[in-house]
């Protein structure tokens, strides 16, 4: 069994940047991912704030990042990590696919997954008429009516994209729109968009297929049913860290606790990207985390 200097779990912007920096530090690297490389940015129609790039499709940026790792001959493999254990200074990574890897250091960059509302009929229509990815499923709703749930950057940006396809877009948010002001202004200016602020989602209606969304005002207690063909939920994210709970490195919300050097409380294990405790979760900050983690891991290896 090969012993890697570093195994990087998660091939989003943080993981891929860590792989690039680790390879350039002459470390032997394994980049491990359970799905396609790119993480959440694969599902983003447009990224407009990644320095020096301008406007770019998320999947295109992900592909460019992965290409960069392959130019440096980073080893890539698929695997869903279920456990990490220590044997002296060596980390043993076990995957559900019955793959086992050994490493001197590990960088955890597993990112986040979308949260769900937990309301009536959500599970029934999930993956059918309720989606968490406009770039994946938006084309299905061309000239149809959709509801977008959420008021943050993801919700607003995806609602703008859906408005270019759908007949109508109704945006429902528990508070007001909290996305960046430029995007909010752009959304509000679209003629086929209606915004319902300060409404709670009560449930989804329909028998054979989704028919609508029941909402209730938190200010007036008014109840409405918005008829629609599809729903897109953007109500926040939760960290993908279940496999790391036994390491004792998670906070109460399940995020990985790290210091400014991306170090966890376990020597030789680092966190990077959206999965760590931090103030801002963006592509640029994920890349910064990955670069720091790789450099610190490189220095740590020289001490063991």
Same domain flag for 152 and 186: yes
The 3-class SS string of 45-109 reads CCEEEECCCEEECHHHHHHHHHHHHHHCCCEEEECCEEEEEEECCEEEEEECCCCEEEEEEEEEC
- Mean pLDDT, 10 residues at a time, over the chain (304 residues)? 94 98 98 94 84 91 97 97 95 95 98 93 92 88 97 95 97 96 97 98 95 97 97 94 96 97 98 95 96 98 94
Same domain, 158 and 201: yes
Q: Of residues 123, 136, 176, 251, which has the active-site annotation? A: 136
Of the residues 233, 258, 284, the one at which a domain ends: 233
The catalytic position among 5, 137, 274, 289 is 137
Cβ proximity of 27 and 15 under 8 Å: no
Kindly state whether residues 48 and 80 are assigned to the same domain.
yes
227 SS3 class: strand
Whether residue 136 lies in the annotated active site: yes
> Known catalytic residue: 184?
no
Render pLDDT for 49-76 as a digit per residue (tens, 0 to 9): 899 998 898 999 999 999 999 999 999 9
Tell me: do 10 and 107 sit in the same domain. yes
**Catalytic, out of 77, 83, 133, 180:** 133
Q: Is 83 a catalytic residue?
A: no
Report the distance separating Cα 75 and Cα 30, nearest Å.
5
Q: Which domain holds residue 77?
A: 3-113+237-301
pLDDT of residue 46: 79
What is the reported pLDDT for 44? 82
Whether the full predicted model's pTM is greater than 0.85, yes or no, is no
What's the full length of the chain, in residues?
304
Q: Say yes or no: 179 and 129 in one domain.
A: yes
Residues 76 and 176 in one domain: no
**Based on the domain organization, do 54 and 86 belong to the same domain?**
yes
Number of domains in the chain: 2
CATH number at residue 227: 3.50.50.60
> Residue 152: what pLDDT?
95
């Amino acid at each position: 069994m090969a012993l890697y200097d570093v195994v990087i779990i998660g091939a989003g912007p943080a993981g891929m940047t860590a792989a690039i920096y680790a390879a350039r530090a002459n470390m032997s690297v394994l980049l491990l991912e359970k799905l396609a490389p790119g993480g959440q940015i694969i599902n983003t129609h447009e990224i407009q704030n990644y320095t020096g790039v301008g406007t770019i499709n998320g999947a295109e940026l992900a592909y460019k990042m992965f290409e960069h790792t392959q130019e440096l001959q980073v080893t890539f493999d698929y695997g869903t990590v279920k456990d990490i254990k220590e044997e002296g200074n060596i980390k043993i990574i076990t995957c559900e696919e019955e793959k086992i890897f050994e490493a001197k250091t590990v960088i955890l960059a597993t990112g986040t997954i979308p949260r769900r509302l937990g309301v009536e009929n959500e599970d029934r229509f999930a993956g059918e008429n309720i989606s968490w990815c406009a770039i994946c499923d938006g084309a299905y709703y061309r000239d149809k009516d959709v509801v977008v749930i959420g008021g943050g950057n993801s919700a607003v940006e995806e609602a703008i994209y859906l408005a270019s396809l759908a007949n109508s877009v109704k945006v429902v948010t528990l508070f007001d729109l909290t996305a960046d002001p430029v995007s909010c202004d752009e959304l509000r200016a679209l003629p086929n968009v209606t915004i319902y602020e300060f409404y709670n989602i009560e449930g989804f209606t329909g028998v054979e297929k989704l028919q609508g969304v029941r909402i209730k005002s938190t200010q007036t207690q008014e109840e409405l049913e918005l008829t629609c063909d599809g729903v897109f939920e953007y109500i926040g994210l939760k960290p993908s860290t279940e496999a790391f709970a036994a390491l004792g490195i998670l906070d109460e919300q399940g995020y990985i606790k790290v210091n400014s050097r991306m170090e966890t409380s376990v020597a030789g294990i680092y966190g990077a990207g959206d999965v760590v405790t931090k103030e801002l979760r963006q592509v640029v900050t994920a890349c910064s985390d990955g670069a720091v983690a790789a450099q610190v891991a490189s220095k740590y290896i020289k001490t063991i």
